[in-house]
């Protein structure tokens, strides 16, 4: 059930009386008395608690902080942003807590002292005694009535901070650059969202006592001095003597908290690796040694947690013992100074020391500990927020819609390569430059000496099928990443004019139906969806899947072959309306006949009116490409049409000759020695498949005339 379908939260319409006495929760409590509560019985979250609202506020404040501090050549501070967004609310809660303590906790001992004076006969005025009794009752009632709404307000504020930070972390994770992703593990992000963000929940409960406890200590000391004189300083002095020791323990807790966070990050990262490779672990029977490794990591983490709990136990023990010790020292000192101790003075001093026990000996050291832990968590969150971001920009809403209705009809009715009936107005749009590299230099690691891409000069327009080829490690994928904005320019420029859609080299699926994986959040256009499914050779797969395109796939869904995943990933990119389609080696995981269908029907047919940049190792398709770009060691070694490359000779012909010779030599070795066959295949399994595709250029004529209407399904064994 979706959250929007739940009933409106009754607190949205509740009056102050209902909020003060929690009357708005009675209906759900009565419903829970009659039956077990289920999800439809819950309510929508409050508007002020929604992630998009809170995340937008904090994100805007963070962006402002980044721009201001960058202009001053200073590092942005997340703490300043949190104060700017939630500081006023935190100040209000602290002010209300202080007023509540002074109005209820500080007045109760005074009223109790007046009542004791009346019953001991020292003050016989009954009116004053009645006023003291009324004041004592009002203070108690006010403490009870205001206590729980205040705690609820603090809980709501801490939840807002946690939700806003989680939203900010999530948005940052989506914008991390390729380099930053390499330095960030999944375990670290999980730990940030689960543990570090939760530190703000606990801190708000006791954080105000950092400044409130000294004020209360000063006020109580003055009040006790008026009753017992110098003896009041005896207990306060002992209390102050223990504060440095408590501060030391708090600092030690901060160090242990950082160690715990680091070890938790490492343990979660290791567990994620084990879960990802669980099949290999089970196959090699590595459960016991890896289980011991997990126990070792968990043991190191538990050692830090135990030390933190030992320190907390010591602080709690001090809090319990100090209160009685301070009362005893002050009263004994009062008697030793030759003063007469009566019941009213004893109750007065005891009540105030109990009050100080809560504020000074309990909450004050706890607030110091939690402040230290919150500072560590804030520093870790700030480090994550300051990581490098990608330069990818969402241009979906900034560009004028192209005439996609005409495009759809052309794709269905027009020719596979050219459309002779295009009008002059369309020619102006088709001939525009969509991608232009101008002396482009880039590298992934800014500290590296060599560039990933060197002196790239390239100009591509609409209605082009550009094939990018080259050996492994030639920076073909980096060229695609530079168009996406993932690889920033060190020198030169790259201009992108239009929307782009991207199919990654490694196909991926999220947990959901096949249709949801293809639509990827876009609205369903049935005609376009059916066309994309047909062009990407998924019709047969839908017939084989249990529920067709509504079959659940992903981590907990049906298992698919590598070829099926590759075609679903390709369909996701093709379904999105775009001007530029970036396809990073989508044909490597499919069979030859399926690859021929995808190339002819999809890339060369359905996407003929757009710019398609295809990174491939299947050289049998190069003859039909409008432009061939050969890359080697991050540079464009050659560029031109298939005919130009074939007649120019050197680079392209040499590439074909070398690969054919290497293929023939490999075949001879395979026939000669079976042992060498196993060794060669284990070392160069992926390279051999690509070499076969290079060598298959000689059989281009045979593959062109294959029937593309019927596309057999590749087997799971042959999938990637």
Question: Which tens digits make up the pLDDT trace of 597-611?
Answer: 999 899 888 988 889
Task: Round to whole Å and give the CA distance between 109 and 622.
Answer: 92
pLDDT score at 592:
85
Task: Round to whole Å and give the CA distance between 233 and 329.
Answer: 10
Task: Round to whole Å and give the CA distance between 102 and 98.
Answer: 6
Per-residue pLDDT tens digits for 374-388: 888 889 899 999 888
Structural domain range at position 53: 45-385
Q: How confident is the model at residue 6 (pLDDT cuts 50, 70, 90)?
A: confident
Residue 316 lies in a domain: yes
Q: Concatenated DSSP letters for 705-719?
A: TS--SS-PPPPSTT-
Residue 711 lies in a domain: no
Task: Round to whole Å and give the CA distance between 183 and 445.
Answer: 12
Per-residue pLDDT tens digits for 473-506: 888 888 888 888 888 888 888 888 888 899 988 8
Sign of the alpha-carbon dihedral angle for 116, 119, 122, 125: positive
Check whether 363 has a pLDDT greater than 80: yes
Check whether 225 has a pLDDT greater than 90: no
Average pLDDT score over residue span 23-37: 87
Residues 154 and 218 in one domain: yes
End-to-end, the C-alpha distance of the chain in Å comes to: 36
Q: How confident is the model at residue 612 (pLDDT cuts 50, 70, 90)?
A: very high
Sign of the alpha-carbon dihedral angle for 425, 427, 428, 432: positive
Residues 19 and 133 in one domain: no
HSE-up of residue 173 (Cα within 13 Å, Cβ side): 16
- Among 24-38, 176-190, 409-423, 424-438, where is mean pLDDT lowest? 409-423
- Quote the tokens at residue 182: 């390499």
Please answer whether residues 607 and 720 qualify as being in contact, where contact means their C-beta atoms are separated by less than 8 angstroms.
no
Q: Which residues make beta-bridge pairs with 437? A: 458, 494
Residues 366 and 409 in one domain: no
CATH code of the domain covering residue 227? 1.20.1560.10
Residues 171 and 269 in one domain: yes
Please answer whether residues 596 and 708 qualify as being in contact, where contact means their C-beta atoms are separated by less than 8 angstroms.
yes
pLDDT score at 113:
86
Task: Round to whole Å and give the CA distance between 481 and 501.
Answer: 12
Compute the radius of gyration of the chain from its Cα atoms. Answer: 36
Check whether 553 has a pLDDT greater than 90: no
The DSSP secondary-structure symbol of 121 reads T
Residues 24 and 65 in one domain: no
Per-residue pLDDT tens digits for 50-60: 888 899 999 99
Task: Round to whole Å and give the CA distance between 666 and 164.
Answer: 59
Task: Round to whole Å and give the CA distance between 478 and 440.
Answer: 12
Task: Round to whole Å and give the CA distance between 617 and 694.
Answer: 7
Task: Round to whole Å and give the CA distance between 132 and 113.
Answer: 9
HSE-up of residue 260 (Cα within 13 Å, Cβ side): 19
Check whether 685 has a pLDDT greater than 50: no
Task: Round to whole Å and give the CA distance between 162 and 167.
Answer: 9
Sign of the alpha-carbon dihedral angle for 158, 163, 168, 173: positive
Contacts of 25 (CB under 8 A, 6+ apart): none
For 669, list phi and psi in degrees, rounded to 5. Answer: -65, -35
Residue 108 lies in a domain: yes
Check whether 672 has a pLDDT greater than 80: no
Residue 283 lies in a domain: yes
Check whether 134 has a pLDDT greater than 90: yes
Task: Round to whole Å and give the CA distance between 609 and 586.
Answer: 20
Average pLDDT score over residue span 141-164: 90
Task: Round to whole Å and give the CA distance between 409 and 407.
Answer: 6
Task: Kindly state the helix (H) or strand (E) to which residue 633 belongs, with its residue range.
Answer: none
Residue that finishes a domain, picked among 593, 619, 641: 641
Check whether 595 has a pLDDT greater than 70: yes
Average pLDDT score over residue span 445-458: 84
- Give me the percent of the chain exceeding a pLDDT of 90: 15
Task: Round to whole Å and give the CA distance between 373 and 382.
Answer: 14
**Of how many residues is the chain composed?**
720
Ranked by mean pLDDT, the top range of 4-8, 108-112, 527-531 is: 527-531
pLDDT score at 656:
43
Nearest to 533 by CA among 542, 521, 523: 542
Q: How confident is the model at residue 654 (pLDDT cuts 50, 70, 90)?
A: low
Q: How confident is the model at residue 119 (pLDDT cuts 50, 70, 90)?
A: confident
Helix (H, G, I), strand (E, B) or coil at 434: strand
Please answer whether residues 388 and 176 qualify as being in contact, where contact means their C-beta atoms are separated by less than 8 angstroms.
yes
Check whether 574 has a pLDDT greater than 90: yes
Residues 344 and 436 in one domain: no
Task: Round to whole Å and give the CA distance between 605 and 599.
Answer: 8
pLDDT score at 505:
86
Residues 444 and 492 in one domain: yes
pLDDT score at 164:
92
Residue that finishes a domain, picked among 385, 416, 437: 385
- Quote the tokens at residue 345: 């003075």
- Quote the tokens at residue 117: 């004076």
Q: How many CB atoms lie within 10 A of CB 83?
A: 14
Nearest to 456 by CA among 630, 619, 578: 630
Residues 607 and 481 in one domain: yes
Residue, of 426 and 261, whose pLDDT is higher: 261
pLDDT score at 191:
81
Residue 160 lies in a domain: yes
Task: Round to whole Å and give the CA distance between 506 and 566.
Answer: 8
Residues 167 and 287 in one domain: yes
Task: Round to whole Å and give the CA distance between 292 and 521.
Answer: 43
Check whether 689 has a pLDDT greater than 80: no
Task: Round to whole Å and give the CA distance between 587 and 590.
Answer: 6
Q: Please tell me the pTM assigned to this model.
A: 0.68
Nearest to 542 by CA among 713, 715, 709, 412: 713
Residue, of 278 and 718, whose pLDDT is higher: 278
Contacts of 654 (CB under 8 A, 6+ apart): none
The two counts, helices (H) then strands (E), for the chain are: 28, 11
Nearest to 393 by CA among 483, 317, 295: 483
- Among 61-75, 377-391, 572-586, where is mean pLDDT lowest? 377-391
Average pLDDT score over residue span 550-566: 82
Task: Round to whole Å and give the CA distance between 354 and 362.
Answer: 11
Q: In angstroms, what CA-CA distances link 423 with 1, 400, 419, 420?
A: 50, 19, 10, 9
Residue 242 lies in a domain: yes
Residues 98 and 221 in one domain: yes
pLDDT score at 199:
82
If one counts the domains in the chain, the total is 3
Question: Which bin fits 535, alpha (ψ -120 to 50), beta or left (φ > 0)?
Answer: alpha
pLDDT score at 571:
93
Residue that finishes a domain, picked among 641, 676, 691: 641
Average pLDDT score over residue span 397-421: 38
Average pLDDT score over residue span 454-458: 88
Residues 318 and 245 in one domain: yes
Task: Round to whole Å and give the CA distance between 252 and 249.
Answer: 5
Per-residue pLDDT tens digits for 231-248: 888 888 888 888 788 778
Please answer whether residues 156 and 49 qualify as being in contact, where contact means their C-beta atoms are separated by less than 8 angstroms.
yes
Average pLDDT score over residue span 76-81: 90
| Dmax (CA) of the chain | 121
pLDDT score at 649:
61
Contacts of 186 (CB under 8 A, 6+ apart): 268, 269, 272
Task: Round to whole Å and give the CA distance between 100 and 147.
Answer: 8
CA 41 to chain centroid, in Å, comes to: 30
Task: Round to whole Å and give the CA distance between 562 and 568.
Answer: 10
Per-residue pLDDT tens digits for 435-448: 888 888 888 877 77
Residue, of 455 and 424, whose pLDDT is higher: 455
Residue 227 lies in a domain: yes
pLDDT score at 652:
52
Average pLDDT, the chain: 79
pLDDT score at 392:
62
Residues 303 and 230 in one domain: yes
Task: Round to whole Å and give the CA distance between 655 and 629.
Answer: 13
CATH code of the domain covering residue 590? 3.40.50.300
Residue 671 lies in a domain: no
Task: Kindly state the helix (H) or strand (E) to which residue 153 belongs, with its residue range.
Answer: helix 126-175
């Amino acid at each position: 059930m979706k959250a929007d379908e739940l009933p409106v939260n009754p607190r949205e319409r509740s009056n102050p009386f209902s909020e003060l006495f929690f009357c708005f929760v009675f209906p759900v409590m009565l419903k829970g008395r009659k039956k077990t509560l289920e999800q439809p019985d819950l309510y929508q979250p409050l508007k002020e608690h929604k992630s998009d609202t809170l995340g937008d506020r904090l994100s805007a404040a963070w962006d402002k902080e980044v721009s201001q501090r960058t202009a001053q050549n200073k590092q942005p501070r997340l703490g300043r942003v949190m104060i700017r967004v939630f500081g006023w609310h935190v100040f209000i809660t602290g002010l209300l807590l202080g007023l509540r303590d002074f109005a209820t906790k500080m007045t109760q001992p005074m009223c109790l002292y007046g009542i004791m004076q009346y019953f001991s006969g020292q003050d016989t005025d009954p009116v004053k005694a009645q006023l003291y009794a009324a004041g004592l009752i009002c203070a108690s009632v006010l403490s009870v009535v205001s206590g729980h709404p205040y705690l609820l307000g603090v809980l709501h504020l801490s939840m807002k901070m946690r939700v806003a930070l989680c939203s900010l972390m999530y948005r940052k994770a989506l914008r991390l650059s390729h380099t930053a992703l390499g330095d960030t593990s999944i375990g670290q992000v999980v730990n940030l969202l689960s543990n570090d963000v939760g530190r703000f929940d606990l801190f708000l409960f006791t954080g105000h006592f950092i400044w409130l406890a000294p004020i209360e200590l000063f006020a109580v000391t003055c009040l006790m001095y008026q009753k017992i004189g110098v003896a009041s300083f005896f207990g306060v002095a002992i209390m102050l003597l223990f504060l440095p020791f408590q501060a030391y323990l708090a600092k030690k807790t901060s160090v242990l908290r950082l160690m715990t966070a680091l070890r938790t990050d490492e343990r979660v990262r290791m567990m994620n690796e084990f879960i990802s490779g669980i099949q290999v672990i089970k196959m090699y029977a590595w459960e016991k040694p890896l289980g011991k490794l997990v126990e070792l990591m968990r043991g190191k983490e538990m050692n830090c947690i135990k030390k933190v709990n030992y320190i907390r136990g010591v602080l709690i023990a001090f809090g319990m013992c100090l209160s009685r010790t301070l009362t005893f020292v002050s009263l004994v000192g009062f008697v030793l100074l030759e003063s007469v101790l009566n019941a009213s003075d004893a109750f007065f001093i005891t009540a105030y020391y109990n009050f100080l026990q809560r504020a000074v000996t309990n909450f004050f050291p706890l607030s110091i500990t939690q402040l230290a832990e919150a500072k560590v968590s804030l520093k870790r969150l700030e480090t994550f927020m300051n990581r490098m971001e990608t330069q990818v920009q969402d241009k979906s809403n900034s560009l004028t819609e192209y005439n996609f209705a005409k495009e759809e009809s052309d794709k269905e009715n027009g020719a596979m390569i050219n459309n002779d009936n295009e009008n002059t107005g369309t020619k102006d749009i088709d001939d525009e430059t969509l991608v232009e590299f101008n002396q482009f230099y880039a590298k992934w690691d800014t500290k590296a000496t060599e560039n990933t891409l060197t002196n790239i000069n390239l100009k591509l327009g609409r209605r082009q099928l550009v094939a990018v080829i080259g050996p492994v490690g030639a920076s073909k994928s980096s060229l695609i990443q530079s168009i996406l904005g993932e690889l920033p320019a060190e020198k030169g420029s790259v201009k992108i004019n239009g929307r782009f859609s991207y199919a990654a080299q490694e196909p991926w699926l999220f947990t959901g139906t096949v249709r949801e994986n293809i639509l990827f959040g876009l609205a369903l256009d049935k005609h376009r969806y059916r066309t994309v499914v047909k062009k990407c050779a998924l019709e047969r797969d839908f017939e084989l899947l249990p529920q067709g395109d509504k079959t659940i796939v992903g981590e907990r869904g049906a298992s698919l072959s590598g070829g099926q995943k590759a075609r679903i990933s390709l369909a996701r990119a093709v379904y999105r309306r775009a001007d530029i389609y970036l396809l990073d080696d989508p044909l490597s995981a499919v069979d030859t006949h399926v690859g021929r269908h995808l190339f002819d029907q999809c890339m060369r047919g359905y996407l003929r009116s757009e710019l398609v940049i295809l990174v491939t190792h299947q050289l049998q398709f190069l003859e039909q490409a409008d432009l061939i770009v050969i890359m080697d060691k991050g540079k464009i070694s050659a560029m031109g049409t298939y005919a130009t490359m074939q007649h120019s000779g050197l680079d392209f012909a040499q590439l074909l000759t070398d690969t054919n010779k290497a293929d023939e030599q490999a075949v001879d070795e395979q026939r000669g020695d079976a042992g060498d066959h196993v060794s060669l295949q284990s070392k160069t399994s992926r390279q051999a498949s690509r070499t076969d595709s290079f060598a298959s250029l000689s059989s281009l004529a045979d593959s062109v005339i294959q029937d593309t209407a019927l596309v057999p399904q590749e087997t799971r064994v042959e999938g990637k």
